[in-house]
């Protein structure tokens, strides 16, 4: 008796990293003006699979609202436009010395 194996899609499908990174940069460029209006900015530090490490810069460093900016602004925009997006990983920036 021959047994048929069902084709089950992988949980983490293979993603074209170059295309994925281009999509991430496009989304970042869309949200950057909102950060710039408040004196801040964002930098992509590293890609780890579908996860993205970012660093907030300028006025965003040390801002009490930065966690909301990351989660409700940047991460939501990435999830909305890139279904295969994994996690947004913030990297701490050193606040400027005064």
pLDDT digits (tens, 9 = 90+) for 11-33: 555 668 999 999 999 999 999 99
Helix, strand and coil content of the chain, in percent to the nearest 5, comes to 40, 20, 40
What pLDDT, on a 0 to 100 scale, did the predictor assign at position 92?
82
- Identify the helix (H) or strand (E) that includes residue 33: helix 17-37
Q: What residues make up the domain containing 39?
A: 17-90
Name the 3-class secondary structure at 94: coil
Structure tokens at 41: 């900015």
pLDDT in tens, 62-74: 899 999 999 999 9
- Whether 95 is covered by a domain: the verdict is no
CB of 47 within 8 A of CB of 21? yes
Q: What is the pTM of this model?
A: 0.77
- The domain that holds 64 is classified in CATH as 3.30.300.130
**Is 5 part of a structural domain of the chain?**
no
The count of structural domains within the chain is 1
């Amino acid at each position: 008796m021959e047994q048929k194996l069902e084709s089950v899609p992988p949980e983490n499908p293979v993603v074209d990293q170059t295309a994925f990174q281009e999509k991430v940069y496009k989304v970042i460029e869309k949200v950057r003006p909102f950060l710039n209006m408040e004196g801040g900015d964002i930098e992509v530090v590293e890609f780890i699979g579908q996860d993205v490490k970012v660093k907030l810069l300028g006025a965003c460093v040390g801002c009490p609202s930065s966690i909301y900016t990351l989660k409700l602004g940047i991460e939501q925009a990435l999830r909305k436009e890139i279904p295969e997006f994994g996690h947004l990983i913030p990297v701490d920036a050193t606040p400027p010395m005064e």
